Every structure is written in C-alpha cells, then in structure tokens.
Amino acid sequence: MSRLNHEVGHIINSIKGLLPSLVTNSWKQRTLYALMRCRTAAMGGHIDRCDNPNCNKLHVSYNSCRNRHCPKCQGHKREQWIQQREDDLLNVPYFHVVFTLPAHLNGLSLHKPEVLYSMLFKTAWAVIKGFGEDHKFLGAKTGMIAVLHTWGSDMSLHPHLHCIVPAGGVNGAGKWTTTKSQGKYLFPVKSMSKVFRAKFLDQLNTSGFLDPVLHEKLIAKPWVVYAKRPYAGPQQVIRYLGRYTHKIAISNHRIADVGDDTVSFTVKNYRNGGKKALQTLTKQEFIRRFALHILPRGFVRIRHYGILSSSGKKQNLEDIREQIGDVSVIFNHKPIQLGVCPSCKEGKLVTMATFRDR
C-alpha cells in the first residue's frame, strides 16, 4: 500500500469484511462505512473546470462524508468554528482546565457512554461554577467552553474534558471581577480534584452505577484536575482552543506505515518527556480502538456554559466589554475559500458535470 493510502478510510476498506465481527454496534458500523467511502467514487462527485483562460484545467472532486469522526472532514470544520468564535472572545487571560475520569470507569464508558459523558460535562461545570461563586476564590459567575476527548495518544480509552475558562466573572452587582493575582491564578487544583471526585461519585450513586467494589476503587486514588497558567492573550486562546475542538481519535498524518496486516502510527511517550515513538497494531486492533471513540448518535461534544453560553453571551458580553475593553486584535487567519482552482489559485471552478454515488 502506497503512502497515499495511509488513511483511516483505506485501512477500514482493507478489512471491511471483518467489521461486523469487530464492531457490533450498528451506529458505529455505519460511521466506519461512511469514513471508508469518504471522497471516493463511491460517494459520487462532480467535474469542474477552471474559468481562468490561462489555466482551464479540469478537476474531478468526490463528495465528502461530512462525518464528525472522519479525519478528512475535520480541518475545514475546525477553521470555520475558530472564525465563528472570534466574536465571543473577552479581553482577559484564559485558563486551560482538564477533567479526567479514572480508568476504573472505562467499563461504564463503553456500555453507557451517553450517560457517563453527560455526567462528566455536568460535574466539570458544577466544579467551575461552584468555585467561581465562592467568595474565597472569585465571588462571581464565570463561564466555560468544554470539549470532550475520549482517547489517549495510543487510541486507548481515556475520557477527559478540555475546558477553557476566563480569568474572572460577573459579580452580583454586574461588575467584572478578576481572579486572584490579576488573573494569574484560577482555583486550587487539589481542592477542585476532591470536589470533582465527590460530585461525580454522587451522580454515579444517584444513577445506580456505584456498587461498593467500584466505590472503593474510585476513592483509593486521587482524581486529576489540571489547570494551566493563563495564556498571554486572546490571540493565542482562539487558535489553541481550535486544536481541541475537532480532534478525533487519530489523524491521517500520524499513520506512518500500513502493511498487509498491521498499522504503525506515531504516539507520544509522556513518560519520556512527550517524545514521539512508533506503535504497531494489527489492522483489526487499530479499527477496534478507533471505534471506541465513535460517540453516540447526536451526542454534543462541545458545550458552552455560564457567561459563555448562548443566553449568557447575550446578557453579559456587551456589558463586560464596556467595563474591560474590547479585544484589540486583528486575526490573521486565512479566509476559507471554496471553489478556487487548486492549480492556478486564481480562477474559480465551474461545475461541468456531476455523477451519483454507486
């Protein structure tokens, strides 16, 4: 298999006869088949001609699957999301906060993903909201944007939330209040970790999932909440956040080699300072791990809370900007150009014919 075929879709296609035995969930099967067909003749497409008389080239384009789990379809969506979020930025530092579930909950994550991941979102916001409203730390209503990831570097199951939290909030008088040390400090992570564990265990118990054996395992070790120092400014926040919003279990560029029966891909060795290494799996195991991270149908993996929610932004953003100023940043992102000739980069593509999927 050539390097051009080092893609998830081609790997799925090479073992498509085994998919029903590897992945029994019908929704996950449909997702894998969609990725296999993405931007191939099986999806249909169109033939375009460049209208630049100095180029005039023909281009055949196949339709995309538009599935949110597809490595080929995420780059464009990520750029669109980033540009849409620019209007929401506040002229304040931001914190990167990560809430991670312990490995003892992986079994429930597999069998009740919608329930467990919803609990994760709910609990993480309860922690941030609670500490924000506590006058010892902030005494104000803050906000959060949370993105669910379910994988580790080797595609093993590792559910966690990447959250962006502004360094402040709106107090009871409607005034902007900054976190401690002029926004250089958020909340104590050890305290957040304990509250995170207590609130999540309470939800598990209420839902009937917390038996004595599981409870003992979950309280035996501390849970992890990570909070990074605030970024320099909004210029970095929006691009950094975009790195997390449309990631999937693995991107095509990480696939280094595909043999007859194996797949090799790059992983980060965090015990060795995050250095990259190669990991090799059988194709069956590669697809099995990939399928672990296909979310339930309709599950929302990016959520906004507090002053950054849809209703919160309408109520608060204008007043906050009047108090602290607007973001004086010119974003240098490249405009998303559709229909531009990939050869000459000047002419526009004119569709000459379309063809249906097979």
* pLDDT value, residue 236: 73
Is it the case that residue 327 has pLDDT exceeding 80? no
- For position 337, what pLDDT does the model report? 59
Which tens digits make up the pLDDT trace of 1-29?
334 468 999 999 999 999 999 999 999 99
The full set of domain ranges for the chain reads: 3-68, 74-249+298-324
132: amino acid identity, one letter = G
pLDDT given at position 158: 95
Cα 246 to chain centroid, rounded: 4
Q: Between the CA atoms of 354, 8, 243 and 117, what dihedral angle is there, to the nearest 10 degrees?
A: 110
Distances (CA, A) of 264 to 18, 247, 255: 20, 19, 6
Handedness of CA 162, 68, 253, 30 (dihedral sign): positive
Q: What is the pLDDT of residues 335-347, one digit of tens each?
A: 555 688 989 988 9
**What confidence category does residue 279 fall into, taking pLDDT thresholds of 50, 70 and 90?**
very high
Question: In this structure, which amino acid lies at residue 178?
Answer: T
**DSSP structure string for 64-93:** P---TT-TTSHHHHHHHHHHHHGGG--SS-
The residue assigned the tokens 């990570």 is 226
Mean pLDDT of 156-172: 94
Please indicate whether residue 328 or residue 45 has the higher confidence score (pLDDT).
45
How far is residue 281 from each of residues 32, 256, 266, 267, 285, measured CA to CA in Å? 18, 12, 11, 12, 6
- Give the three-state DSSP class for 153: coil
Provide the pLDDT for residue 241: 76
The C-alpha atoms of residue 357 and residue 34 are separated, in whole angstroms, by 12
Q: What integer pLDDT is reported at residue 230 of this predicted model?
A: 61
> Over pLDDT 90: what percentage of the chain?
64
Contact (CB, 8 A) for 134 and 182: no
Q: 304-317 pLDDT, tens per residue?
A: 999 999 999 888 88
